[in-house]
A and B are shown apart, each in its own frame.
Chain A
Amino acid sequence: MLTEVEKTKIQHEIDQSEYPRAACVEALRILQAHHGWVSDEDIRELAPLLGMTPDELDAVATFYPFIFRRPVGRHVILICDSVSCWVMGYESLLSRLNERLGISMGETTPDGRFTLLPVSCIGACDRAPAMMIDRDLHMDLDPEKLERLLEQYT
């Protein structure tokens, strides 16, 4: 069920948009901010507010990598796997993450702390390798720095 707060925020976005469906990405993000992901029920409830069918809205939701249609951990690690980071040591970062967290790309740790996902070039090529954890950008990484970094996200 959408809360009143969510409905108000979503309505505000719709009012600011030229057409209701133009607000769909922002509306999905509002739901995601509250639950961490977007459920089937969310899609069914949200679609009519935007003048869309649930299928139309889901087509958009599943198009975007950063609208999560499945539950994710408390923290989402987005490791840049594009070319400059690859040259500068992406693979050793990834294997350290795999080892340390015991998960592969796309998985969540059993304690629900971290989800590991790839991200395309995040424009930090001059300070590669880089990754984001939640909304924070981390650069000039190596496996040792990574260990210390993970401790900040409990």
Chain B
Amino acid sequence: MERPLTRDIRPDGEPLGIGEYERAGGYGALRKTLREMTPSRVRDEVKASNLRGRGGAGFPTGAKWDFVPMGDDAPRPKYIIANSDEMEPGAFKDRLLMEGNPHQLIEGLIIGGYAIQADRAYVFLRWEYNRCAERIGRAIEEAYRQGYLGKNILGSGYSLEMRLHVSAGRYICGEETALLNALEGKRGIPRSKPPFPQLSGLWGKPAIVNNTETLSNLPHIIANGAAWFRGLSRCADGGTKIYGVSGRVMQPGSWELPLGTPIREILEEHAGGMKEGFSLRAIIPGGASTEFLLPEHLDVNMDYDSCQKAGSRLGTGTIIVLDDRTCPVGMVHNLIRFFARESCGWCTPCREGLAWLEKILRSLEEGDGQSGDMEILAANTLLLGPGHTFCALAPGAMEPLQSALGCFREDFERHVREKKCPWR
């Protein structure tokens, strides 16, 4: 089984320096791009690879790029930005890629930049990932020294300047328009669309924001071709995926596997099944803002379409396990508390609604639940759903809540009836 993203990552977790990266074939794809390919060829190749965004939303990468104005009269400068602000609860995949192989991300970012003829690139990184910051900062310097960045890269005539931006917290900064505001030195609150970032993104100029894992795939697509990339997966969308499992399993961790690997295989073969004394109650397949799936869904394949058909989303592909000795209401309370705290406060339903829901869930946990609480929770999953809020934060928060109300109805009712959390 091929594992292009993690193949070169060393077992001790130390990052590949530029020399090691080059000896492993690194920057070969960039040389090929600059020597043999026009920007539109690169875009076509990525489109043909069926690469979809790995940050959570799953938008096709090539199609996203297609909205960027091209040609001599396109507005300048144009920007490409790595969204390395990984903060989805339960997700720990981008950290692995940045710590283990920072040059892979840098090379991907340069190739993506060439595809849209970007003039400037940013890596937008969360402050807490300070080890990534050191490694990416060093990788950018090394890439400049070797002539992979700066003016007239490898004599091709293409120029790209790259900078690392270290943020200072807030989940919402991972939302692409909030990220752009944050980069401009404003409060990181989302913008209304249109205009879309591809036309008016950073300082009014075209900008593309791609996830770390998405960008890290680009060197491999260019080096080996779209058909090879499509062949890596077990579904229509191309490539491998960094899957992760956390919770009470034998071996929590992350693994690069074909996109479309069944949930059961990830949980049992890779995570080693449940810890002794615990059994599996449910999972959240793709980070905090995805719906719960039950044991009956274990044969669902972890890809975009299959997860959606099962009533959830692939999201970040990092599974969180709920065991039978953990309170599902408490778990949902934890999730909603996170979203309430991370709400930027810009729109009313999100700012007020999440805080209200958090309070109700807390009261259930503390034994103060009321008989009408379930109805209030259910009604708000619609009021905070898509179309009622400025961005996707609150609708994302409603995904685990509304599915929990279905999956764990009896548990919610017991909290009200027994006036306590049965797990405490």
Contacts and interface: CB of A to CB of B under 8 A. Distances in A.
Interface of A: 16, 18-19, 21-26, 28-29, 50, 52, 59-60, 63-67, 78, 81-84, 86-88, 118-128, 132, 135, 137
B184 A120 contact: no
B200 interface: no
Contacts of B326: 87
16 contacts: A21-B186, A22-B184, A29-B166, A63-B170, A78-B128, A82-B288, A87-B247, A87-B322, A87-B331, A120-B89, A121-B88, A123-B86, A123-B91, A125-B89, A125-B318, A128-B252
Contact of B338 (A29, A82, A124): A82
A132 B252 contact: no
B271 to A, nearest CB: 9
B266 to A, nearest CB: 13
Q: How would you classify the secondary structure of chain A's contact residues: helix, strand, loop or mixed?
A: mixed
Nearest to B86: A123
A126 B253 contact: yes
B321 to A, nearest CB: 8
A19 B246 contact: no
B202 to A, nearest CB: 9
B246 A86 contact: no
Given A60-B186, A66-B127, A120-B171, A125 B87 contact: no
B48 to A, nearest CB: 32
Given A16-B163, A64-B170, A83-B320, A120 B341 contact: yes
Interface of B: 86-92, 94-95, 120, 127-131, 163, 165-171, 182-188, 203, 244-248, 252-254, 284, 288, 318, 320-323, 326, 330-331, 334-335, 337-338, 341-342, 344
Contact of B247 (A22, A66, A67, A84): A84
B185 A132 contact: no
Contact of A64 (B91, B169, B337): B169
Contacts, number: 133
B168 to A, nearest CB: 4
B252 A121 contact: no
A120 B183 CA distance: 21
A52 B120 CA distance: 24
A65 B170 contact: yes
A123 B247 contact: no
B253 A83 contact: no
Given A64-B168, A65-B168, 11 more contacts: A60-B185, A66-B128, A78-B128, A83-B89, A83-B320, A87-B323, A87-B326, A120-B169, A125-B320, A126-B244, A128-B246
A151 B237 CA distance: 50
B185 A84 contact: no
Contact of A84 (B86, B90, B95, B342): B90
Given A83-B90, A83-B331, A125-B244, A64 B320 contact: no
Contact of B188 (A63, A66, A128): A63
Nearest to B334: A86
B203 A19 contact: yes
Given A87-B331, A119-B128, A125-B244, A21 B168 contact: no
A81 B88 CA distance: 13
A51 B163 CA distance: 21
Given A87-B248, A119-B128, A125-B91, A25 B185 contact: yes
A83 B252 CA distance: 14
A126 B246 contact: yes
Contacts of B169: 64-66, 119-120
Contacts of B184: 19, 21-22
A50 B89 contact: no
A120 B90 contact: no
B334 A126 contact: no
A125 B90 contact: yes
